Structure 1
């Protein structure tokens, strides 16, 4: 068994934050029923690139789910959702606050039909506060949460992070909240409403940068590949690429200097302690960079690793997915899709000793499981299903093919 076997999740979310959350829940064994509006999740068409007719974007965050198409703007569509909620444990949504209430499926309504239901709402700014009604977008949250102001090179314009970490991170916080609420429900029998936001996520991850600001009153500044509190702990350029080193304490500093053949740096009063090195980084870092320019990344990595200094190359994606350790950790998986064939995806980062996660099905085609869910979960007969289709309440996709997959 996987760790969340027996948990049923109704996924009303789309784009990134909610689908990432529900994908991880599905990887851990939850049955996730993705309810899509007619036309489907917007990301199905976000490309190129595409796998067959489905976007690579959609594929990356929607495996292990069932897709049904329900028009929640119809009364019968709303009733179908509430019938599903009666048998569910969790509902995940990332609409703008107030949308569920307008559709008459807000938390109070869900709780009336299932007192144990857990609703996880993901939004840009939360369900309360002056900004709550504003639409939420990753890049805006990065900027408003302070991340953009400390990302990039000194003296250059601010830069957003390369990944959509506000969206993805909020999806992870939603998972934490859902699992905590499930544990609480075991004792109380009651569900609850979980409220997580992109802005809160970015602010919560400021950690030591916020601490530095609170202690000094000085705004943190972008430092490129460097660390504000540790030196040298940053990215350097070799003669054929880039690599990172992490000299995180004074003991490592002494080993580092010996490995470089620079023992005189050890007791240099400007560099003896980390405090000295932070205060004099403008002298030390250029000196080291000039040295590192002379040889290859592999040379420096081998030299420093042999001396016990934490370090690593800066890899592009092609290099990442050929790395022997990445492959050994099963962070590259393959799924068989009914129309796209074999498709590669990222693996599951949590490794369980007793309840391992699995990739058991490819990202679903739009409406692939509508008939299955209506028939098996809601006990609808063929005549009911035909009538619902004719009325525009649901849509189906009949040619499902073989959706079984394997992990590589």
Structure 2
């Protein structure tokens, strides 16, 4: 057997070596990785957030000339308190902890030159512009390779870098509609509803992070960089699951027109969200098969639940509207937590529908002891709780302690210490609008 790839290619350098302690990353697994990050909003920033949590040195590049408008999330709601402005957007802080922040005006020759120098000393370059935008800015992959032959270049866009829609700009809800996910969610007789929230920005981020790690593994084994082309529409199509299988293997549409239901399952009934006692309280129930139904019917104990015909899944699916009405009238008389515990003890899959406060500070499955809601220190906001990662590694776990960077907060360290620009020139660059 051969030795470690690093025996041939050389041991990885710690990208944080010589960094001031207050700026140093705390994760361990990716300390040898430096990311020049031009991505923003949620899809790109969410991916580099994962890398930063595991110790990668992510240098977030932003435009100094438009008050943070490069990333519309930077100053947008929600907010921790009454403070407003480009440094106080909670969404931005949530998606950019542990990163270093610099500003570069890429409309200037000096700004582009400094970006080239940063690319030359990085392992990964990431962006989530529309397909081809970064190349038109003067940075096609061929130029990146001239600057750094082993660079991993990541483009994360709605439609990818090829095809008829490559120049289109997208947002999470548009990607969801194009990929078919929106069609899967709605109420009977109503238009498909989808999700108002940018679900696919987050799923696209996970896809991008996995792809970056795979490309880096190849680089570490061979010394070769490559292009990572992330198409979030395709990532969404891959999430439609059984709908695609039914169409291509069964030759039939996943659901007849007008029957889309956000909470129902094509093979299980009852399967949905039902009212519980109290204002805006709900419980989720799922009967996977006839045995689940018999257990649920025994708990209900009412004559309608003991009807022989309901013992068949086919009959329950055919009469779901009437069944859901009867079941909802029964569940409405119970506390959601108590009823869920009772049904689980009887072997029926059930759960109370958690509010946001319950998910964060309530009992399991909110898992406060899991570390999913760490508090970071932001230089302007102060202490603030953000999302953690839903995974733990026994030897090289993630860490999120430093909040997102303010606009240009780390210009001095990155351009001065890392790239060797002296203080006088940094002052001149700032005065000229380059930084």
Fold agreement, TM-score > 0.5: yes
**Cross-structure match for 1:313:** 352
Once the two structures are superposed, what CA deviation does each residue of 1:25-64 show, in whole Å capped at 9, x if it has no partner?
1111111000001132332222353553411221121111
Matched-pair contact (CA < 8 Å) for 2:156–2:231: yes
Q: 2:254, 2:385 → 1: CA distance?
A: 42
Distance 1:369 1:310, change over 3 A: same
Matched-pair contact (CA < 8 Å) for 2:131–2:159: no
1:49 to 79, 82, 103: 79
**Cross-structure match for 2:95:** 61
Q: How does 1:154-165 map to 2 (within 5 A)?
A: 154-165=188-199
1:254 to 289, 294, 304: 294
Q: 2:273, 2:372 → 1: CA distance?
A: 24
Q: 1:250, 1:142 → 2: CA distance?
A: 34
**Cross-structure match for 1:172:** 206
Once the two structures are superposed, what CA deviation does each residue of 1:96-122 show, in whole Å capped at 9, x if it has no partner?
122111211121111221121111111
Q: How does 1:5-84 map to 2 (within 5 A)?
A: 5-38=31-64, 39-40=67-68, 41-47=71-77, 49=79, 52=83, 53=85, 54-84=88-118
2:239 to 205, 226, 231: 205
Q: Compute the displacement of 1:224 (Å).
A: 2.8
Once the two structures are superposed, what CA deviation does each residue of 1:389-408 show, in whole Å capped at 9, x if it has no partner?
233221xxxxxxxxxxxxxx
TM-score, normalisation: structure 2: 0.85
Root-mean-square deviation (Å) = 2.1
**Cross-structure match for 1:360:** 401
Q: Compute the displacement of 1:132 (Å).
A: 0.9
Q: How does 1:106-121 map to 2 (within 5 A)?
A: 106-121=140-155
Matched-pair contact (CA < 8 Å) for 2:300–2:330: no
1:131 to 165, 189, 196: 165
**Cross-structure match for 1:217:** 252
Once the two structures are superposed, what CA deviation does each residue of 1:119-158 show, in whole Å capped at 9, x if it has no partner?
1111111111111111111121122222222212111232
**Cross-structure match for 2:273:** 235
Q: Compute the displacement of 1:212 (Å).
A: 2.5
**Structure 2 gap ranges (5+):** 1-26
Q: 2:402, 2:144 → 1: CA distance?
A: 29
Q: 2:352, 2:28 → 1: CA distance?
A: 35
**Cross-structure match for 1:284:** 323
Q: Compute the displacement of 1:283 (Å).
A: 4.6
1:302 partnered with 2:338: no
Distance 1:229 1:6, change over 3 A: same
Q: Compute the displacement of 1:218 (Å).
A: 2.2
Distance 1:376 1:266, change over 3 A: farther
Distance 1:105 1:50, change over 3 A: farther
Once the two structures are superposed, what CA deviation does each residue of 1:258-291 show, in whole Å capped at 9, x if it has no partner?
333369958934433x455434434533332232
Give the stretch that moved more between structures: 199-208 or 308-317. 308-317
TM-score, normalisation: structure 1: 0.90
Runs of 4 or more consecutive aligned structure 1 residues displaced over 6 Å after TM superposition: none
Give the stretch that moved more between structures: 255-264 or 11-20. 255-264
1:187 to 213, 217, 221: 221
Matched-pair contact (CA < 8 Å) for 1:123–1:196: yes
Matched-pair contact (CA < 8 Å) for 1:257–1:263: no
Distance 1:180 1:204, change over 3 A: same
Q: 2:219, 2:170 → 1: CA distance?
A: 30
Give the stretch that moved more between structures: 169-178 or 139-148. 139-148
Distance 1:15 1:294, change over 3 A: same
Matched-pair contact (CA < 8 Å) for 2:183–2:193: yes
**Structure 1 gap ranges (5+):** 395-408
**Cross-structure match for 1:402:** none
1:344 partnered with 2:385: yes
Q: 1:236, 1:286 → 2: CA distance?
A: 9
Q: 2:268, 2:196 → 1: CA distance?
A: 23
Number of residue pairs matched by the alignment: 393
Q: 2:243, 2:44 → 1: CA distance?
A: 28
Distance 1:366 1:300, change over 3 A: same
Give the stretch that moved more between structures: 215-224 or 31-40. 215-224
